[in-house]
Amino acid sequence: MTSAKRDSMQNSATPDDLANVLEHTFASLGQLSKDFRMALRSREVGNIIHNANGVATVSGLPKVGYEELIRFRDGLLGIAFNIDEDEVGVVLLGDYWKLKAGDEVQRSGRVMDVPVGDALLGRVINPLGEPLDNAGPINTESRLAIERPATPIMDRAPVTTPLQTGIKVIDALIPVGRGQRELILGDRQTGKTALAIDTIVNQRGKNVLCVYCAIGQRGASVAKVIATLRQHDAMKYTVVVVAEGSSPPGLSYIAPYAATSIAEAFMEAGRDVLIVYDDLTQHARAYRELSLLLKRPPGREAFPGDIFYLHSRLLERATHLNDEHGGGSLTALPIIETEAQDISAYIPTNLISITDGQIYLSPSFFELGTLPAVDVGRSVSRVGGKAQRKAYRAVASNLKLTYAQFEELENFSRFGARVDTASQKIIDHGQRVRMSLKQAECSPVSVEEQILLLLAVKEGLFDAISLDLMPKAETYLLNTAKDIPQEIRDNIESVKGISDDDDNQTLLNLAKAALERFISAETKTSPKPENNEETG
């Protein structure tokens, strides 16, 4: 628009037009002033009295609620933990060293919550829901409180569907069902985390979502776990919640609750979820530290008296919902660390009584190279065969008893005592059983492969093969599992199992054909003592 045209338009505006515009504007302002009502909103503001080691003492918040979020400067959050008449003990969830006595605090009016939803899959977050993987912000539509009541009993269904771990010794002898709580315990460096990560890796393609919660772990250890999950393409169905050992104890305390709320959101949407707590020993220590700093009375092993309730209300949230509530499930694999194989310590006994079974990893087995180092005698699944495929019960029903008898005879024979022929046969068979249950890390075995292997072990097909040839023979046998007819595969996956004689004989013939070359090689190369004694 040229300046001449603009000047002509301005000159064309009459004083009456300007007066009308001004009159309408003032009328609108007058109406707004009449409708405006000043609303007063009260806000409780307090001050920090004392701050040290992740705990702050605050005054001036008379109406604060238990576990309510408290806001500090620079966006730092805390949770009201001790509510006394004149002061409040607050657990801080961030860089507490930035605060000082006298700083202003205020109530938030809400409890601690965490974002939930599919946007979290494949992401690494802290217990506050903030991303740690430099992959951009997380956009979710809903949030859930980290402390939630457990599912009522009437809304639950029995645990009947197996959760395949891909680990032979567990799927065969200590089965885990969807909705179960199975404890993993053992001394340091015995493979507890590896066992849980193998289970997560095995869920690929099985429509099971996973949540891995690292509590008080070293950053390098967590990075290794994430790298393993990415290497096996498991991050796309996994959420990783991290509270490192260098984090404030408040973050370690809320980490498992935040992870459980994330998993519960998936479960309530009708999906099957697996959650791993690694580990609850560090969680208990973080809670003990906070409790002692808040001057709560210590009890056994300096833990506060409510440490049992701390873990029971967490693990009680793992369940299998009935069909009316979506039919989803939440399976929990809590991990704890024992000291000097003492499973009768305070925290281990608490969690053994809370969970539905335990998988104990023996340091002696680990030192001998029997990996995974599962001590079958001390491990148990209280759900048991109810959550195990019928095909497993057909081929591994007496395997645990056979293995226990072998271990007892093996220990007896180590004293140098001579054993009879029958006992020696049991020992030889047990050694093959132990070799067949060995498994490398991150190498899950499918259901069909396990059934074929266990059937061969049950029928003693490995007994004529030397221990040196066992790994090669087992590998060759597992590779032949692809030749199992589709009809038998369907029976293995179904409730029918392989009880039919024809199915059983087909699998047996397949195993015999695969192992024939190793049996023949052993027969040709091994000496025959009976003939030598006769000729001598």
Return the active site residues.
Answer: 382
Give the separation between CA 295 and CA 178, rounded to whole angstroms.
40
Give the separation between CA 133 and CA 242, rounded to whole angstroms.
11
Question: Do 112 and 146 meet the contact criterion of CB atoms below 8 Å apart?
Answer: yes
Give the separation between CA 315 and CA 309, rounded to whole angstroms.
10
Amino acid, single-letter form, for residue 394: A
CA 3 to chain centre: 73
Q: Is 109 helix (H, G, I), strand (E, B) or coil?
A: strand
Q: Is 446 helix (H, G, I), strand (E, B) or coil?
A: coil
Helix ranges, 355-500 (H): 363-368, 390-396, 399-413, 421-437, 447-458, 470-479, 486-493
* 200 φ/ψ sector (left φ>0, alpha ψ -120 to 50, else beta): alpha
Give the separation between CA 164 and CA 380, rounded to whole angstroms.
16
Give the separation between CA 9 and CA 14, rounded to whole angstroms.
10
Q: Is 452 helix (H, G, I), strand (E, B) or coil?
A: helix
Strand 113-116 and strand 124-125: the pairing is unpaired
Question: Do 138 and 159 meet the contact criterion of CB atoms below 8 Å apart?
Answer: no
The residue behind tokens 């260098």 is: 246
Task: Supply 55's token pair.
Answer: 């705990």
Question: Do 268 and 325 meet the contact criterion of CB atoms below 8 Å apart?
Answer: yes
- 238-244: strand order across its sheet: 124-125, 238-244, 208-217, 272-278, 329-337, 183-186, 357-361, 380-381
Q: Is 160 helix (H, G, I), strand (E, B) or coil?
A: coil
Name which of 329, 315, 389 is nearest 157 in CA terms.
329
Half-sphere exposure of 386 (CA within 13 A, CB side): 11
